[in-house]
Structure 1
Amino acid sequence: MTARTGDQLASTVSGTRVIVVRAPADGAPEIACGGSPMVPASALDGTATSPPSREEAATLIGKRYVNAAGTLELLCTASGAGELSCDGAPMTLKTAKPLPASD
């Protein structure tokens, strides 16, 4: 599956849902959650999933996740269990850019 900016993806193993904010121009990265590939959200509409437990890694609603190269960025729209990964490598939480100090 080719990820494009604006695509909504859903996990098949948890309640995690994301929107693609930035996608690489070349190639089709494999986006997964909890080790299972994510699918278009429209394919899973109406299915119920369990909330994440405290022991499991979880995606957090409203947070942005990026791959190591910075070419793929996802915005989490629904929390769930499982770690987001791109081509088998874990994605990291994007940190806010510090604002310049005004004196």
Structure 2
Amino acid sequence: MKAGTKLKSAVCDTEVMVIKLGPGSIECGGAPMVEERTGDKGVPDPAFAAGTKMGKRYSDAAASFELLCVKPGAGSLSIDGVACQLKDAKPLPSSD
């Protein structure tokens, strides 16, 4: 896998674009994300069912991963079982 890869959740409608990639497994709803969804969707783990927001970036605590949500869903993103955080927008410089 490399930056620019599009991943889909196996348990909900969430789809993400990998912006920055580190070591570990990208998960959504408690299940590993896949490049191509096969078969029926499962059910998100209640511990990872906070949902995702379209157009928002998510990263892990070490900032080794950055994911851009391109389609929202019911599952929340995690790396190796540790929940990702919504990344804050960078403030724009003032234009005096």
TM (norm. structure 1) is 0.77
Match of 1:9 in 2: 7
SS of 2:78's equivalent in the other structure is strand
In 2, Cα distance between equivalents of 1:77 and 1:102 = 31
In 2, Cα distance between equivalents of 1:70 and 1:34 = 20
In 2, Cα distance between equivalents of 1:4 and 1:29 = 13
**Aligned ranges 1:17-36 → 2 under 5 Å:** 17-24=15-22, 28-36=23-31
User: Structure 2 stretches of 5 or more lacking a match?
Assistant: 43-48
Alignment RMSD (CA, Å): 2.2
In 2, Cα distance between equivalents of 1:64 and 1:29 = 18
Match of 1:37 in 2: 32
Deviations 1:59-92 (A, max 9, x none): 0111110111111100111110111001211101
* 1:48 Cα deviation from its structure 2 partner: 7.7
* 1:100 Cα deviation from its structure 2 partner: 2.5
User: Structure 1 stretches of 5 or more lacking a match?
Assistant: 50-55
Match of 1:90 in 2: 83
Query: Is 1:68 aligned to 2:66, yes or no?
Result: no
Match of 2:46 in 1: none
In 1, Cα distance between equivalents of 2:24 and 2:41 = 27
In 2, Cα distance between equivalents of 1:17 and 1:57 = 15
Instruction: Tell me how many residue pairs correspond in the alignment.
Output: 91
TM (norm. structure 2) is 0.82
* 1:29 Cα deviation from its structure 2 partner: 1.1
